[in-house]
Structure 1
Amino acid sequence: MNNTEMASLVRLALDSYVDIVDKISDPRTTDWPLMQSPVPTILMVVSYLYVVIILGPRIMRDRKPFKLKEVLIVYNGFQVLFSLFMLYEHLMSGWFLDYSYKCEPVDYSNNKKAIRMANLCWWYYISKLTEFADTIFFVMRKKDSQVTILHLYHHSLTPLETWVLVKFIAGGHGTFSNLINNLVHVIMYFYYMVAAMGPEYQKYLWWKKHLTHLQLLQFTLVFFHSAQLIWTDCGYPTIVFVGGKQLILPVRQTTVNPSNAPYNAHCSNCRRSDDLIQKMMQSIELLSHDVKYHIQLSQLNSNIVSNDLPHNPALEQLPVYTVEQLLKFNESLQDKHK
């Protein structure tokens, strides 16, 4: 393939991408800052990774760690206020008003409340970019043990994920996870702010041991709220539920590994939390297959009744997952997690 053919192929791929995006993207957010193309966000993520993995450690190699006490107090205080603002907006844009906690479609209209929620989704995306500073401060303070693979995974994935949400589904069912995340961040960044004030304020942080359970609760609430999309169809894409399973990684990062979270420095129940997360993942995998089984079983029974068929269907009409298959699947999961 010569250069001309390669250029034509690339041009065709780009034209196809633009055509698809124009058809399925949210027209309300197209002209908003950073929303016309994913390239700026991707470049920011790549730059972030370069700074915290290569450039930052190289600059800090022969330097003493920065203290950053005042900077951390101001930064964490800002994040508390920013999260409070977004928490309030999530409630007043739908979740405290008329949003359904069972299944809520995206309102693509231009009415005031729908635009308010879409605008909030954009600010939530921006907030994930500001959180790059978390890692940069770790590097400047030479807290290298806290810059883990999972930490980098989380902070580089969320800007890309939230960009997609603003671009295509700015509102609806998926914003519940944003709401819960804002609530957790208010508490988390408040802890970081007080902790940055110095040892004399540690006596006011007696509740830090409960932050581990708060993170687990966040994951559980978001997962089971998203899981409703499997059996409830309101027009919201079920792919969000699949993506929601990725939450286990940042949850594991912030609750299980003591070196990754300051509030867990003296965690005595980290191993129990690790075991709990593994059991939750096992239950989640089984639940998803169990739900598929019952959905297909109900569809089969519905067809039998509506078509007045005998109640002893042929083998090829049976659901994909039988009870016996589910039990074997559960056994294989238990073996895998031993």
Structure 2
Amino acid sequence: MLYLFIVWIGPKLMKNRRPFDLTWLMIPYNLAMAALNAYIVVRLLTASFRLRYSYICEPCRQRYDPDELQITEAVWWYYFSKLLEFCDTFFFILRKKNEQLTFLHVYHHSTMFSFWWIGIKWVPSGTTFLPAMVNSAIHVMMYTYYGLSVFGPRVSQYLWWKKYLTILQLIQFTCALVLAVNGIRTGCEFPLWMHYVLIVYMISFIVLFGNFYMKAYIAKV
């Protein structure tokens, strides 16, 4: 609620003010976020490999094996990263990039933080590791892109791969949707309501990110 209030009040407070130059802050922020997401990927990948986790269905068990705790710790850092990602929005507001404050952006940031609070509280291991790992891998590339793009036209002309990040995100959402449907079909030992919520949530992302991709890349051709 505080995040949504800031999104509402921020542009009003900045309306008659000059935009801030945050280059000095955005470069280390984006590169630090890329490093944090890389750390999450490595921790989840190594522990899940040693535990021989299934990529189709892995029930969340209350175990205190060091590798299970490593996964839980990494998932917590993933949840915490969603709090840090609110800075993306705050930077838009302070730089008066209000065109970037789209429904997709605000919906994505606000709901991810809320849903992953549920995840880390009730299902901090098991199949939960997979979306956290895949999404963090994409965020490594995304924040690396953002960090490099801050350097301006001299560097941004070589950053041709932005649209492929959106394609990877759409593939990620589709795979998560398929896994949720399969979880219901096979009776995967995971809270049933979470499967249904995930299906609805992934459909909303596919529609919103698909619409963004169409407008940003297809309509311009």
TM-score normalised by L of structure 2: 0.90
Q: Which has the higher contact order (CA 8 A, sep 6+)?
A: 2
Flag structure 1 segments of 5+ consecutive residues without an equivalent: 1-45, 259-263, 273-338
Paired letter, 1:132 = F
TM-score normalised by L of structure 1: 0.60
Shift in Å, 1:255:
4.9
Q: Secondary structure at the match of 2:159?
A: helix
Aligned-residue RMSD, C-alpha: 2.2
Shift in Å, 1:93:
2.0
Q: Output the CA distance in 1 between the equivalents of 2:32 and 2:207.
A: 26
Conserved? CA contact 1:76–1:190, under 8 Å: yes
Shift in Å, 1:82:
0.6
Cα distance change, pair 209–151 in 1 and its aligned pair in 2 (3 A):
closer
**Could you say which residue in structure 2 is the equivalent of 1:123?**
77
Paired letter, 2:143 = Y
Q: Secondary structure at the match of 1:173?
A: helix
Paired letter, 2:154 = E
Conserved? CA contact 2:177–2:203, under 8 Å: no
1:176 aligns with 2:125: no
Q: Output the CA distance in 2 between the equivalents of 1:52 and 1:218.
A: 27
Q: Secondary structure at the match of 1:157?
A: helix
Aligned length: 220
**Could you say which residue in structure 1 is the equivalent of 2:112?**
158
Deviations 1:269-308 (A, max 9, x none): 1599xxxxxxxxxxxxxxxxxxxxxxxxxxxxxxxxxxxx
**Could you say which residue in structure 2 is the equivalent of 1:42?**
none
Q: Residue 192 of structure 1: which of 146, 167, 177 is its match?
A: 146
Q: Output the CA distance in 1 between the equivalents of 2:181 and 2:153.
A: 43
Seq. identity, %: 35
Shift in Å, 1:72:
1.2
**Could you say which residue in structure 2 is the equivalent of 1:81?**
35
Flag structure 2 segments of 5+ consecutive residues without an equivalent: none
Shift in Å, 1:168:
0.9
Shift in Å, 1:103:
1.1
Deviations 1:63-114 (A, max 9, x none): 1112211211111101100100001111012156500122101121111111
Q: Output the CA distance in 1 between the equivalents of 2:90 and 2:119.
A: 26
Q: Output the CA distance in 2 between the equivalents of 1:206 and 1:271.
A: 15
Cα distance change, pair 181–195 in 1 and its aligned pair in 2 (3 A):
same
Paired letter, 1:194 = L
Conserved? CA contact 1:138–1:144, under 8 Å: yes
